[in-house]
């Protein structure tokens, strides 16, 4: 005797309550969290840099009666300039696909998320290529084999992967050296995800925090241990494979650290290792130089969702930053 089967009485259809997408959390991206962001009205312009040398020597002398005082001045460099390159990406949402999309798919919402992820990844890549690379900073001073003072990247004599190492002492040595040569101590520490994971299980770190209220290693506790105002973990991931190829996922930076001074806010006569200039003045631009717009593409029977970011990243004082790599595996 024939009877209805499951396929006769039920047709599979998408669930309206869930849809799976892997979208990186905005906190994984640090490019806008390190250096002060300066919203600018013009795409390109200049800024002033005061020469520090004049401000750290004294020419004051004893003054005899009826004589002129000793005097001098200082130099201002007005040649530095920025140019906010505009980065753009779009996705077209055609009318037919939008009309036939099942819940919970919202193609206009998804297109916006997709575009912003692309732009955030691009900005993060630029940040890493500008700041998180060997040879970019000169804040670490050391004496070479000939007794000549040199500037460059920090090379750990004791790898942090060793339980016998003392990362806090090494960082304090870097901070002291920068303070000695610039009068400014670093206040920001950026570590790669793998380096942060190692610090969270380092015996010396665990020993020092065991009497804290939580006895759990957090980024806030690590900031306190290393004596910095900001402790940031660079944890953004990129798929470096071309479309159609097997995905190649990895962190954008690994086994590396940047210790620098970042001004809490931009201002006149305020030093900073770097600044980010964001073109707020472009039509519809945010304070971070970004905008999303939708335009009708009638010849495609589609709406184009387009995103842009316009910014420039500048290293203002190379001696206010120290870069280190190979802290886990060596050079």
CA angle 179, 183, 184 (to 5 degrees): 70
In this prediction, residue 2 has a pLDDT band, given cuts at 50, 70 and 90, of low
Q: How many domains does the chain have?
A: 1
Query: Beta partners for 322?
Result: 259
| Domain annotation covers residue 190 | yes
Q: Is the pTM of this model over 0.95?
A: no
Q: How far is residue 199 from each of residues 235, 251, 271, measured CA to CA in Å?
A: 15, 17, 30
Closest to 106 measured CA to CA, from 114, 309, 295, 90: 114
| Domain annotation covers residue 175 | yes
pLDDT digits (tens, 9 = 90+) for 80-123: 899 999 999 999 999 999 998 888 888 999 999 999 999 999 99
Instruction: Report phi then psi at 303, rounded to 5.
Output: -105, 135
| Domain annotation covers residue 152 | yes
pLDDT digits (tens, 9 = 90+) for 262-272: 999 888 778 89
| Domain annotation covers residue 297 | yes
| Domain annotation covers residue 124 | yes
Q: Which domain holds residue 279?
A: 24-50+80-325
| Domain annotation covers residue 310 | yes
In the predicted structure, residue 17 carries a pLDDT above the cut 70: no
Helices (H), the chain: 6-9, 95-100, 107-131, 167-182, 193-201, 203-209, 219-226
Would you state the pLDDT for residue 7?
56
Name residues whose C-beta falls within 8 Å of residue 292's C-beta, 6 or more positions apart in sequence: 112, 115, 116, 305, 306, 307
| Domain annotation covers residue 303 | yes
What DSSP line would sit under 164-222, residue for residue?
Answer: T--HHHHHHHHHHHHHHHHS----EEEEEHHHHHHHHH-HHHHHHHTTSSS-S--HHHH
- Distance (Å, rounded) from C-alpha 235 to C-alpha 267? 29
What DSSP line would sit under 146-167, residue for residue?
Answer: TS-EEEE-B--SS-TTSTT--H
| Residue whose pair of structure tokens reads 């964001």 in the numeric block | 278
Query: What CATH number is associated with residue 163?
Result: 3.90.1690.10
Give yes or no for a contact between 111 and 294, defined as CB atoms under 8 angstroms apart: no
Give yes or no for a contact between 186 and 140, defined as CB atoms under 8 angstroms apart: no
In this prediction, residue 53 has a pLDDT band, given cuts at 50, 70 and 90, of confident
Q: How many CA atoms lie within 13 A of 287 on its CB side?
A: 4
Q: How far is residue 180 from each of residues 46, 51, 140, 259, measured CA to CA in Å?
A: 30, 17, 11, 15
| Domain annotation covers residue 7 | no
């Amino acid at each position: 005797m024939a009877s209805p089967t499951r396929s006769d009485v039920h047709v599979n259809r998408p669930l309206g309550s869930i849809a799976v997408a892997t979208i990186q959390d905005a906190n994984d991206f640090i490019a806008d969290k390190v250096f002060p962001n300066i919203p600018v009205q013009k795409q390109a312009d200049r800024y002033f840099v005061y020469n520090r040398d004049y401000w750290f020597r004294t020419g004051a002398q004893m003054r005899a009666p009826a004589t002129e005082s000793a005097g001098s001045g200082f130099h201002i460099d007005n040649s530095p300039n920025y140019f906010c390159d505009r980065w753009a990406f779009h996705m077209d949402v055609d009318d037919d696909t939008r009309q036939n999309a099942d819940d919970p798919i919202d193609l206009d919402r998804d297109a916006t998320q997709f575009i912003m992820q692309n732009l955030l990844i691009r900005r993060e890549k630029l940040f890493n290529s500008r700041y998180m690379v060997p040879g970019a900073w000169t804040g670490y001073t050391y004496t070479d084999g000939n007794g000549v003072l040199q500037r460059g990247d920090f090379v750990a004599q004791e790898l942090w992967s060793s339980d016998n190492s003392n990362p806090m002492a090494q960082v304090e040595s870097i901070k002291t050296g920068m303070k000695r040569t610039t009068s400014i101590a670093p206040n920001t520490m950026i570590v790669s995800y793998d380096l942060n994971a190692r610090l969270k299980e380092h015996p010396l770190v665990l020993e020092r925090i065991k009497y804290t209220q939580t006895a759990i290693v957090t980024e806030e506790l690590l900031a306190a241990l290393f004596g910095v105002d900001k402790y940031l973990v660079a944890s953004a991931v990129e798929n470096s494979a071309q479309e159609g190829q097997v995905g190649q996922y990895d962190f954008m930076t690994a086994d590396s650290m940047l210790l620098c001074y970042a001004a809490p806010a931009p201002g006149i006569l305020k030093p900073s290792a770097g600044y980010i200039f964001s073109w707020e003045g472009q039509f519809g631009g945010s304070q971070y130089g970004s905008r999303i717009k939708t335009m009708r593409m009638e010849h495609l029977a589609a709406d184009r969702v387009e995103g842009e970011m316009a910014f420039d990243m500048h290293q203002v004082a190379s001696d206010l930053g120290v870069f280190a790599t190979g802290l886990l595996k060596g050079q």
